[in-house]
Structure 1
Amino acid sequence: MPATAEHADAERPAAKGVQGAQGAEVAEGAAPDRPARIPEVDALRGFALLGILLVNALMMASPYGPGGAVDPDASALDRTVEGAVQALAVGKFYLLFSFLFGYSFTLQQASAAREGASPVPRMLRRTLGLFVLGALHAVLLYTGDILMTYALIGLVLIAARNCSPRTALRAARTVYGCASALLLLLGLASLFVSDAESAGMDEELTAGFAGLVADYRGDAASVVSANLGQLPDVLLAVPLMGGFVLAAFLTGLYCGKLRLLDGTGRHTARMRRICLLGAAVGLPGSLFMALAGSGVLGPRWTLLGPVVGMVTAPALTAAYVCGMLLFMKTARGARTALLLAPAGRMALTNYLSQSLVMALVFTAYGLALYDRLGAAPVILGALALYGTQLALSARLMGRHRYGPVEWLLRAVTLARLPRDRDRTTTAPR
């Protein structure tokens, strides 16, 4: 569910750590009139792709996804794997992409200014392009698409493009506070529902799974029909998660206006504090969500658990961001960043191709393995897919500046085909 194209240009030379490790390659690949990329942003985006893939793989493989009804036939290993994904990944990585979306928005503004172009028409065209891609993605491949949400809430960023960094941060805090208060009220209200009523709602939910399984194992038409049938419920969830997406957008906007990812060495002590505090707040909330989702705490907690997880997820996301940035300052972290960055440069292509591959595996488009595999083999396969994407991304980004879908979205954004100078001239390796 990523913030993707037109995202990683910044005006600065390469520095130490990952910056120095990538500096020569970036300088070789960049066109003379374009600034070097920020390798940390690309690496963070590549890291986020892994978390998104782990969550989406479980959601696309079975109706018993993380945070949903408990699969009574799941093995202890499968439940452990699903619980780990729910605690460490669910709700965190779409916020990381949202933060990077807001950060990259400032870079797009700077790019338009350098070229003497009006930023608003470009941004509106890009937003429309994201919405169309998201709609096709949701109908044909995966109803959990985030691109449409990004496109709609991205209109707020366009309206707020000239606000001060302080205003952006204050707005992010306000939006987060209001969204959290609303969700917590809903979660606390669920405690007044009896265990019998909660169990009844779970039974009603699982009763509809048989039809879903049949549709996804049927044929291509039944897959599309199943996706369309789930869209209303998905759209109803947008307002609930939209507040957290907007808060992450605005936080990214704040950081982008101050270029806080441009030379992170100035903020080492602050990042360490955020990392520790974020883990201290986010991990307990995530563990509570995982325990509630597993059914260990009883049916009454099945709604409050995800609520607490969503409210505390931004803290753990902040810890992930700062932890990765600190890690990338080490020699091993710099090598890891070199591995992740190419996948992050073509994150939109990778995000959509993940859904395509999983649709071919789990639905009637291909093997129709929906609800036939446990969480453990699904996650193992997702890790294999991610490794393949890292290798293919490195090869493709060694020859081109953009991934295929990024190139298409850039053409829509600019209302013209990208010129040759927009591509790298790096020799094949």
Structure 2
Amino acid sequence: MDALRGFALLGILVVNIAFLASGYRMAGQAEPAFDGPLDWGARWTVTLLAENKFYLLFSFLFGYSFTLQLDSAARQGRRFVPMFLRRLGGLLLLGLAHAVLLFPGDILTTYAAAGLALLVLRRITPRAAVLLAVGLTALLALAFAALAALTAAGLDLTHTVADTAAEAARSDAALSGGIWQIVAEHVRKLSLILLLRVFFQGPAVLAACLIGLAVGKLGVLRDLSAHRAALRRLQWTGFTVGLSGSLFYTASAWNGTVHKFWGEAVDLLTAPLLAAAYAATFLRLLPYVPRVARALAAPGRMALSNYLAQSLICALIFTGYGLALVDRVSPPLEVLIACGVFVCQVLYSHWWLKRHRYGPVEWWLRYLTYWRRPAPKAGRHAAPDTGRATRRPGPTT
């Protein structure tokens, strides 16, 4: 699970860096300064293979880890509800600080809200959890289809996503400025995307969390060898239906507001399948590439620290906090930078975990969760920050 989380962390960075690097991208437009074949090739590739897929994978892992924490609290005789509420409060504080200071596209606040829903639904059966997730996804897809129909009928909905070149230019100017200009711009963007977060991304995150909860309750991932047929079916379905839907979404993403809404509707139904295919393929291949597993497990164990560090590094590169290169870096170079940053995070995570049991932010969140100081150094069986008492050796479990 640590290695899978590290894999998802790379995908999230490859997607997020475009939004951190450009006011135009945040406004839903292509950067006008980069219009060559390589630029469009990078945009299409990232949109097709990564956008809206990896945050679902992370959400699935959030729901799965929730079941591990429930089991751990039961084994240790701890009161789970107050402990988990403290954890969610910590996520909310981190998310708010992250959104205001570094990246208004933060997802930690959404996880805090989804975690509260999981807490309420913690006794739900796996079957009911899957049905609720499917229902939420279907309702979201219908909502985007309705938006597409209303827009096609002449109702102007573009102001809700600030989809204009003037908005992008204003954002670029602010992000290139001083600290207070950057913070003010982030706060302004938060007000623009709040509706999208509450009514659209929030339910999508919760749906993926519910699938993770169902898988955790069923114990499917404890013995992958017993579920090879199911993993193969996920691959076949995900890479056919999922990729087809993603291709439609990619073609729609750069073709006007009406087409974008239709693309979102289709992608909501098919992106979870492609994300599942990625996970199934990764889990099936992992035992055959132990070095890759070990490399990815370390950043996965301190994923929260690395997620926040990614935004900090990108802010230092693209905003007035540092080099102020906003909208001066081409899409292909953004992808290369993302890969370079992740390689550095892999090396740093391995170095850090040789000396510490948890990542720095994980240490703080664990302290807040359990209301006691975590063990300062990693032992042979040190646990990742999931609330488990022990951790099995080996990267594939």
**What TM-score, normalized to structure 2?**
0.90
Q: d(CA) in 2 for partners of 1:131 and 1:171?
A: 24
In the alignment, does 2:298 pair up with 1:342? Answer: yes
Secondary structure at 2:379 match in 1: coil
CA apart distance, 1:184: 2.4
Secondary structure at 1:303 match in 2: helix
Map Cα deviations across residues 202-224 of structure 1 (whole Å, 9 max, x no partner). Answer: 99611122221111111111000
Mapping 1:296-311, distance limit 5 Å: 300-311=258-269
How has the CA–CA distance of structure 1 residues 362 and 170 changed in structure 2, closer, same or farther, with 3 Å as cutoff?
Answer: same
In the alignment, does 2:175 pair up with 1:225? Answer: no
Map Cα deviations across residues 386-407 of structure 1 (whole Å, 9 max, x no partner). Answer: 1111111122223322100000
In the alignment, does 2:218 pair up with 1:262? Answer: no
Please list every run of 5 or more consecutive structure 1 residues that lacks an aligned counterpart in the other structure: 1-40
Instruction: Give the letter aligned to residue 284 of structure 1.
Output: S
Instruction: Give the letter aligned to residue 101 of structure 2.
Output: L
Secondary structure at 2:237 match in 1: helix
The correspondence for 1:177, drawn from 138, 141, 156, is: 138
Residue in structure 1 matched with residue 345 of structure 2 by the alignment: 389
> CA contact under 8 A between 2:144 and 2:261: conserved in structure 1?
no
CA apart distance, 1:365: 0.4
The correspondence for 1:97, drawn from 33, 44, 58, is: 58
Secondary structure at 2:77 match in 1: coil
How has the CA–CA distance of structure 1 residues 73 and 131 changed in structure 2, closer, same or farther, with 3 Å as cutoff?
Answer: same
CA apart distance, 1:48: 0.3
Q: d(CA) in 1 for partners of 2:47 and 2:27?
A: 7
Q: d(CA) in 1 for partners of 2:352 and 2:106?
A: 25
Mapping 1:75-90, distance limit 5 Å: 75-90=36-51
Residue in structure 2 matched with residue 424 of structure 1 by the alignment: 379
Q: d(CA) in 2 for partners of 1:401 and 1:387?
A: 21
Instruction: Give the letter aligned to residue 314 of structure 2.
Output: M
Secondary structure at 1:328 match in 2: helix
Residue in structure 2 matched with residue 248 of structure 1 by the alignment: 208
Residue in structure 1 matched with residue 31 of structure 2 by the alignment: 71
The correspondence for 1:113, drawn from 74, 82, 89, is: 74
Q: d(CA) in 1 for partners of 2:213 and 2:163?
A: 42
CA apart distance, 1:186: 2.0
> CA contact under 8 A between 2:137 and 2:268: conserved in structure 1?
no
> CA contact under 8 A between 2:24 and 2:169: conserved in structure 1?
no
Q: d(CA) in 2 for partners of 1:360 and 1:204?
A: 26
Of 46-55 and 182-191, the range deviating more from structure 2: 182-191
How has the CA–CA distance of structure 1 residues 201 and 125 changed in structure 2, closer, same or farther, with 3 Å as cutoff?
Answer: closer
How has the CA–CA distance of structure 1 residues 184 and 198 changed in structure 2, closer, same or farther, with 3 Å as cutoff?
Answer: closer
Q: d(CA) in 1 for partners of 2:378 and 2:48?
A: 40
Secondary structure at 1:368 match in 2: coil
Residue in structure 2 matched with residue 61 of structure 1 by the alignment: 21
Map Cα deviations across residues 185-209 of structure 1 (whole Å, 9 max, x no partner). Answer: 2234333349xx7999999611122
How has the CA–CA distance of structure 1 residues 198 and 302 changed in structure 2, closer, same or farther, with 3 Å as cutoff?
Answer: farther
Residue in structure 2 matched with residue 280 of structure 1 by the alignment: 240
Instruction: Give the letter aligned to residue 63 of structure 1.
Output: G
Instruction: Give the letter aligned to residue 282 of structure 1.
Output: G
Residue in structure 2 matched with residue 17 of structure 1 by the alignment: none
Of 236-245 and 41-50, the range deviating more from structure 2: 236-245
> CA contact under 8 A between 2:142 and 2:265: conserved in structure 1?
no
How has the CA–CA distance of structure 1 residues 359 and 115 changed in structure 2, closer, same or farther, with 3 Å as cutoff?
Answer: same
Map Cα deviations across residues 36-63 of structure 1 (whole Å, 9 max, x no partner). Answer: xxxxx10110000011001110001012
Mapping 1:95-244, distance limit 5 Å: 95-193=56-154, 205-238=164-197, 239-244=199-204
Secondary structure at 1:90 match in 2: coil
> CA contact under 8 A between 1:107 and 1:256: conserved in structure 2?
yes
> CA contact under 8 A between 1:122 and 1:414: conserved in structure 2?
yes
In the alignment, does 2:310 pair up with 1:354? Answer: yes
Q: d(CA) in 1 for partners of 2:104 and 2:161?
A: 21
Identity fraction in percent: 43
How has the CA–CA distance of structure 1 residues 360 and 249 changed in structure 2, closer, same or farther, with 3 Å as cutoff?
Answer: same
Q: d(CA) in 1 for partners of 2:298 and 2:217?
A: 25
Of 280-289 and 265-274, the range deviating more from structure 2: 280-289
How has the CA–CA distance of structure 1 residues 304 and 193 changed in structure 2, closer, same or farther, with 3 Å as cutoff?
Answer: farther
In the alignment, does 2:324 pair up with 1:368? Answer: yes
Please list every run of 5 or more consecutive structure 2 residues that lacks an aligned counterpart in the other structure: 383-397
How has the CA–CA distance of structure 1 residues 255 and 425 changed in structure 2, closer, same or farther, with 3 Å as cutoff?
Answer: closer
How has the CA–CA distance of structure 1 residues 312 and 415 changed in structure 2, closer, same or farther, with 3 Å as cutoff?
Answer: same
Secondary structure at 1:255 match in 2: helix
Q: d(CA) in 1 for partners of 2:370 and 2:323?
A: 39
Secondary structure at 1:64 match in 2: helix
How has the CA–CA distance of structure 1 residues 201 and 231 changed in structure 2, closer, same or farther, with 3 Å as cutoff?
Answer: closer
